[in-house]
Amino acid sequence: MDTNVESPREAPDPAQNGDEAIGRALELANEWREAAASTHGAGERASALLECARAVEREFGMLQRVVGIYMVDRAPGGPEEGGWFYDVGERYTAFDPIVCRGNAQCRTAHALAEKYIEDHRMNVGRHDPSSVLCEGWYASWAFDGSVAPEHFPATIPHYE
């Protein structure tokens, strides 16, 4: 009868390994994003790399976003179905956009931008965007990536 018992190996800390795996996955996502940018965003390879980066970031809840302040208004889209409108925005350049990862950082960035708007009384005397009297409204907006666009949308939507 064999009574020899192996001493138990020290199990790796799953939390530490999980954090390392997430960190490595996010590094890969950044490498894929940079590789796609080096191809100037053209072609199937660049699109595939960007989609891989976004998928990894979505999977771990760490999608890179940028939050900025925009002068937002509504633009008429067309007469279909009695008329429709879409949101348009121009970036407010006195506020530096905030790059963030994950929902918690994104909520904090939105809160900072909204506090800036409130502290500077930027919407005092302005009509809400849902009003026909609105001529613009300052609001925080988030976009995928690390660069806040100067305006949105990039292309005018069309009715389908």
Domain locations along the chain? 14-59, 64-152
Buried b (16+ CB within 10 A) or exposed e, 110-147: bebbeebbeeeebeeeeeeeeeeeeebbbbbbbbebee
- Once rounded to an integer, what is the mean pLDDT over residues 58-72? 85
95 pLDDT band, cuts 50/70/90, is very high
pTM above the 0.85 mark? no
- Half-sphere CA count of 57, side-chain side, radius 13 A: 23
pLDDT in tens, 25-40: 777 777 777 777 776 6
pLDDT greater at residue 118 or residue 59: 118
pLDDT in tens, 68-82: 999 999 888 888 878
How far is it, in rounded angstroms, from Cα 122 to Cα 84?
A: 27
